[in-house]
Amino acid sequence: MTKRPVLVPILGDQLTPAISSLADRKSDDTVVLMMEVAEETGYVRHHQAKIALILSAMRHFADELRAGGWRVDYIALDDRANTGTFTDEVLRAAKRHDARGIQVTEPGEWRVRRMMDGWAEASGLRVRVLGDTRFVCPLPDFYAWAAPRRELRMEWFYRDMRRRTGLLMDGDDPAGGRWNFDPENRSGPPPGLNPPAPMTFVPDAITRDVIDLVRARFGHHFGSLDHFGWPVMRADAQALLERFLAERLPLFGQWQDAMLSDHDTMFHALLSPAINCGLLDPVEVCRRAEAEYREGRAPLAAVEGFIRQIIGWREYIRGMYWLDMPGMASANELNATRPVPEFWWTGDTPMRCIAQTVRATRDNAYAHHIQRLMVMGNFALLSGLDPAQVADWFLAVYADAYEWVELPNVAGMALHADGGRLASKPYAASGAYISRMSDYCGDCAYKVKLKTGPQACPFNALYWHFLDRNASRLGRNPRLATAYATWRRMSEDKRADTLASAEAFLMTLEPAAPGWARA
């Protein structure tokens, strides 16, 4: 290398050679910097499998880059000189390589963006922060979409993304004549429904080393490594995608909301950890799904539902994060202040839906969307759990969790902490919804049909307690008009009995011991 190089830091969720920071670089005057740092492994107490996934994927990616001719400076977690922070490692590397500049792709988290903003002054070098082209909608375009609108509904944004990508478009029209096939999706599970086993990958030598490291350094964090089977390299992520397309996609939509105790993953894709860290390109994933429809192997309703999650929800969520940060992190429209209970970490509760979801989360660092939204999220909403503590829990426990995607889902979609910017109505539901969508209630210590009393499903009284205590904020929401009318029609005695039942349950919640989510 004759010229002074440009330093290209690549973060643990930017693991693709197509990353924008490398797009205009030549290998002969570039040093790629990858950093395993204590600041990132510890800013929340991540699930052990999440750390293992990211560090192993980073190590595999470094090898992939080297094989492609790039010079990679890789700082391992236990390197003696490792300072433990992105900023200090970037400054150290800039000096070590006598870099003439720094080029980086924008990060997924506000916190890291603030760090990057200080790099130019601290290093005395020119720092170029490039847009993340893995997303369909560049952030400036999202801001321009949002600026003139009073209501930022996902559905309208999604249609723009369909037009922009051409996915499921027949000329100017949506395939099948409709943009959204949800009415044909989302049934409850019939007896005997038997989803295929999830595809898992046997850890190779690199992953085994990382697992040993994680056990030694982070063995006190939540979660098990015993079942670790996530893909940590591109070829395996591709195999997972192919398996999803063949075995799960055709039934994805129909059973999208269903939950079964013996099938933690149902017909879901399991692709979010790989997509979010860069092992799969989201639009490529959608193009492969579209091909299944075009070639007659998967119904349009399933494929449209799947593509909407990625170019609709995922893109919209990311736009909302950057639009509303930093305020989103402290938003608490409903003034919810109750601490997260201990059983969110231990799973030790007679509420079978929660026990099953926490168990799946501990085993796999994964729970599917409805477990996250309608079991954990719904419980947090109805019980009035503190949004910041709930966000810490979600950020820590899932293998796919980065703040740009976790926080809007928690604060906006699940908790209505943003006052309804993201979802026009809170996703509040009584036990009847969980009973319809799962097999959890049959074996639960609580009775889903009972409305009040110590044996009654806690969700039932909590639902009315939630509406009652938030009447001044939610009472005029037209989408809750029927629920409020039903509440008002109840006799005074019944209402008092319901509120007392909910209060009695809330009194039993034991706050989580400090140290589960943060040191």
Footprint on this chain of ligand DLZ (rule: CB under 6 A)? 11-13, 35-37, 40-41, 46, 51, 54, 107-109, 112, 402
Nearest-approach distance from CB 480 to ligand SF4, in angstroms: 21
Q: Residue 35 binds which one of ligand SF4, ligand FAD, ligand DLZ, none, with CB within 5 to 8 A depending on kind?
A: ligand DLZ
Q: Residue 352 binds which one of ligand SF4, ligand DLZ, ligand FAD, none, with CB within 5 to 8 A depending on kind?
A: ligand SF4
Residue 378 touching ligand FAD (CB under 6 A):
no
Q: CA-to-CA distance for 314 and 399, rounded, in angstroms?
A: 16
Specify the stretch interacting with ligand SF4 by CB under 6 A; choose among 177-185, 216-224, 387-395, 443-451: 443-451
Q: Bridge partners of 75?
A: 35
Q: Residue 416 binds which one of ligand DLZ, ligand FAD, ligand SF4, none, with CB within 5 to 8 A depending on kind?
A: none
Nearest-approach distance from CB 438 to ligand SF4, in angstroms: 7
Smallest CA-to-CA distance from 248 within 192, 299, 190 is with 299
What distances in angstroms separate CA 232 from CA 12, 40, 215, 275, 286, one per listed residue?
12, 18, 18, 11, 20
Q: CA-to-CA distance for 316 and 198, rounded, in angstroms?
A: 28
Q: Residue 459 binds which one of ligand FAD, ligand DLZ, ligand SF4, none, with CB within 5 to 8 A depending on kind?
A: ligand SF4
| Nearest CB to ligand FAD, comparing residues 5 and 223 | 223
Q: Residue 276 binds which one of ligand SF4, ligand FAD, ligand DLZ, none, with CB within 5 to 8 A depending on kind?
A: ligand FAD
Residue environment code for 342-357, b if the CB has 16+ CB neighbours within 10 A, otherwise e: bbbbebebebbbbbbb
Q: CA-to-CA distance for 34 and 278, rounded, in angstroms?
A: 14
Residue 446 touching ligand SF4 (CB under 6 A):
yes
Residue 444 touching ligand SF4 (CB under 6 A):
yes
Nearest-approach distance from CB 388 to ligand DLZ, in angstroms: 17
Per-residue contact flags (x/-) with ligand FAD for residues 292 to 331, judged by CB under 6 A: --------------x--xx--xx--x--------------
- Do residues 421 and 396 touch, judged by C-beta distance below 8 A? no
E-strand ranges in 136-290 read 169-170, 173-174
Smallest CA-to-CA distance from 232 within 214, 256, 253 is with 214
Q: Residue 12 binds which one of ligand DLZ, ligand SF4, ligand FAD, none, with CB within 5 to 8 A depending on kind?
A: ligand DLZ
CA angle 179, 321, 113 (to 5 degrees): 135
Smallest CA-to-CA distance from 344 within 511, 220, 457, 221 is with 511
Q: Bridge partners of 127?
A: 102
Q: CA-to-CA distance for 435 and 460, rounded, in angstroms?
A: 11
| Nearest CB to ligand FAD, comparing residues 181 and 306 | 306
Interacting residues with ligand FAD between 271 and 290 (CB under 6 A): 271-272, 275-276
| Nearest CB to ligand SF4, comparing residues 37 and 457 | 457
Residues in Cβ contact with 510 at an 8 Å cutoff, skipping those fewer than 6 apart: 341, 342, 343
Q: CA-to-CA distance for 205 and 207, rounded, in angstroms?
A: 5
Nearest-approach distance from CB 282 to ligand DLZ, in angstroms: 15
Q: Which residue is nearest to ligand DLZ (CB)?
A: 12
Q: What is the CA radius of gyration of the chain?
A: 24
**H/E element, 357:** helix 352-364
| Nearest CB to ligand FAD, comparing residues 377 and 431 | 377
- Do residues 274 and 280 touch, judged by C-beta distance below 8 A? yes
Residue 434 touching ligand SF4 (CB under 6 A):
yes
| Nearest CB to ligand DLZ, comparing residues 39 and 342 | 39
Q: CA-to-CA distance for 41 and 54, rounded, in angstroms?
A: 9
Residue 377 touching ligand FAD (CB under 6 A):
yes
Per-residue contact flags (x/-) with ligand SF4 for residues 342 to 371, judged by CB under 6 A: ---------xxx------------------
CA angle 240, 244, 245 (to 5 degrees): 120
Q: Residue 11 binds which one of ligand FAD, ligand DLZ, ligand SF4, none, with CB within 5 to 8 A depending on kind?
A: ligand DLZ
Nearest-approach distance from CB 90 to ligand DLZ, in angstroms: 11
End-to-end CA distance of the chain: 43
| Nearest CB to ligand FAD, comparing residues 72 and 373 | 373
Q: Residue 109 binds which one of ligand DLZ, ligand FAD, ligand SF4, none, with CB within 5 to 8 A depending on kind?
A: ligand DLZ
Length of the chain: 519
Residue selected from 369, 447, 494, 495 as contacting ligand FAD according to rule CB under 6 A:
369
Q: CA-to-CA distance for 408 and 431, rounded, in angstroms?
A: 25
The footprint of ligand SF4 (CB under 6 A) covers 351-353, 431, 434-435, 440-441, 444, 446, 448, 457-459
The footprint of ligand FAD (CB under 6 A) covers 268-272, 275-276, 306, 309-310, 313-314, 317, 368-369, 372-373, 377, 394, 398, 400-401, 405-406, 409-410, 413-414
